Amino acid sequence: MKMFFRVLGLCLLFQLGATLSAQQKPVPKVRLKAHVAVAPARDHNGRILSPAEVSATLPVFTYNVTSSRDGNNYTGVMVGQDPFNGGGTTNVPTQIVPLIITTDSVAYKLSSSGVLSTKQGTTKFDPTAPDSNCMAAPNNVALSLAQQSPIFQANNFKFGHTAVGKTQYLDAYQRANFWQSVQGTNYHTLLSPVKTLAPISLDLSGNNSLAISAALFGSCGPLGIVDINTLFPILVSLTQSLAPQGVSPSTFPIFLLYNVVMSEGNPANLNLCCVLGFHGASGSPAQTFSPIDFDTTGLFGGIEDTSIMAHEVGEWMDDPFGNNPTPLWGHTGQVGGCQGNLENGDPLTGTNIPVVKGANGFNYHLQELAFFSWFYGAPSIAANGWFSDNNTFTTDAGPVCQ
């Protein structure tokens, strides 16, 4: 899954026609694409950097593996300590940056070709404000729910019969990922310390964004769509301007959106929608970052609340610069064709592990992730000999994708 713009895969396809009101049923069904993406590291002129040009200040280790799927040797980098050579604990300082998005146009009609008609109207999407339409008090503030989620807070995680510890979800996944080497050790890769920065407000024009009213598709609240070509440079600029608050290439800023997704071009054309999040990098040394939607609209099925965050943070951890090569794999998750990188969320987009109840009583959705051995081949070095952390994949990715 590549973005900006080499997006591979379509993820899940959602038929908006199924949610239209009775009066709108004659409109032919439009298939709304939903996926998440990775933006390869670029310099400040926008040129994609080669792996040799990316100088990391994140704590990363280099792995080298011979794949049993094709017999070739592969090298890449992951965040954390080397699990094959002693391991240890890594803490990556993380900033949560709430983005308050205001759009100035509202979609009121959908054409048979999937294009929205819009009129002037202001809509604010605020992750720091209570939303009693899509959530129930007291758990109705997206920012608070994200802060209290298993992405950042410790929970007891058990994959099958293997208890991997009380820890954050992505650390639990990574421990299970390399269980053969790290069981019984203090191997951890943690988002810590986590600091929430002041919200940043972005007022976007009608050419670059819009809001779909709740009434149009029968959702509990409006959905915002922002052109990713507009948002990406804004985020790069923000990572630079937030340096006085601690953002640097050695930290991981997460830009929190609420019920706002991205389009690959004109937001009014639903055929170009929707990117729910991506992890990207810019500059040298590369500054990694990730905008992530906390979604409660119900328009994307099981892709909701922190499932997108689980996907993106997991991929940032195992493929921070978007260029860890693997034998070609595909035809699963959001990937309809063939893909050749270690994006551990893509093969299982839309598939979650069992719901995790937080200390706040909220039921969190966390996406299942593919293990290292699924990409490079059996035998599995993960917990239970599995190939994904809820055992959806019972074998590796198989023959090289054609």
Count Cα atoms within 13 angstroms, Cβ side, for 295.
29
41 contacts 48 by C-beta, under 8 angstroms: yes
Measured in whole angstroms, the distance separating CA 78 from the mean position of its chain's CA atoms is: 16
90 assigned to some structural domain: yes
pLDDT of residue 20: 31
pTM: 0.90
Q: In which region does residue 15 sit, left (phi positive, over 0), alpha (psi from -120 to 50) or beta (all else)?
A: beta
φ, ψ of residue 357 to 5 degrees: the values are -85, 125
First-residue to last-residue Cα distance in the chain: 17
pLDDT of residue 29: 28
33 assigned to some structural domain: yes
Contacts of 77 (CB under 8 A, 6+ apart): 56, 60, 61, 62, 63, 320, 321, 324
pLDDT of residue 130: 98
Contacts of 362 (CB under 8 A, 6+ apart): 139, 145, 148, 149, 305
Buried b (16+ CB within 10 A) or exposed e, 93-110: bbbbbbbbbbbbbbbeeb
Q: In which region does residue 18 sit, left (phi positive, over 0), alpha (psi from -120 to 50) or beta (all else)?
A: alpha
- Residues 383 and 181: their CA atoms lie apart, in Å, by 10
- Residues 368 and 344: their CA atoms lie apart, in Å, by 9
| DSSP-based three-state secondary structure for 189 | strand
91 assigned to some structural domain: yes
Helix axes 307-318, 169-177, angle to 10 degrees: 50
3 assigned to some structural domain: no
Query: Which two tokens mark 134?
Result: 């899509």
209 assigned to some structural domain: yes
Query: What are the residues facing 75 on neighbouring strands?
Result: 64
pLDDT of residue 45: 63
Span 267-324, pLDDT tens digits: 999 999 999 999 999 888 889 999 999 999 999 988 999 999 999 999 999 999 999 9
29 assigned to some structural domain: yes
Residue 52's domain spans which residues? 12-385
pLDDT of residue 86: 87
1 assigned to some structural domain: no
**pLDDT tens for the 402 residues of the chain, in order:** 333 222 222 232 333 333 333 233 222 223 334 555 666 666 656 676 665 566 668 999 999 999 999 999 999 999 999 999 988 999 999 999 999 999 999 999 999 999 999 999 999 999 999 999 999 999 999 999 999 999 999 999 999 999 999 999 999 999 999 999 999 999 999 999 999 999 999 999 878 999 999 999 999 999 999 999 999 999 999 999 999 999 999 999 999 999 999 999 999 999 999 999 999 998 888 899 999 999 999 999 889 999 999 999 999 999 999 999 999 999 999 999 999 999 999 999 999 999 999 999 999 999 999 999 999 999 999 999 999 999 999 999 999 999
85 assigned to some structural domain: yes
The tally of domains found in the chain comes to 1
String of DSSP letters for 195-236: EEPPPEEEEE-TTTEEEE-HHHHT-SS-EEEEEHHHHHHHHH
pLDDT of residue 206: 79
224 contacts 210 by C-beta, under 8 angstroms: yes
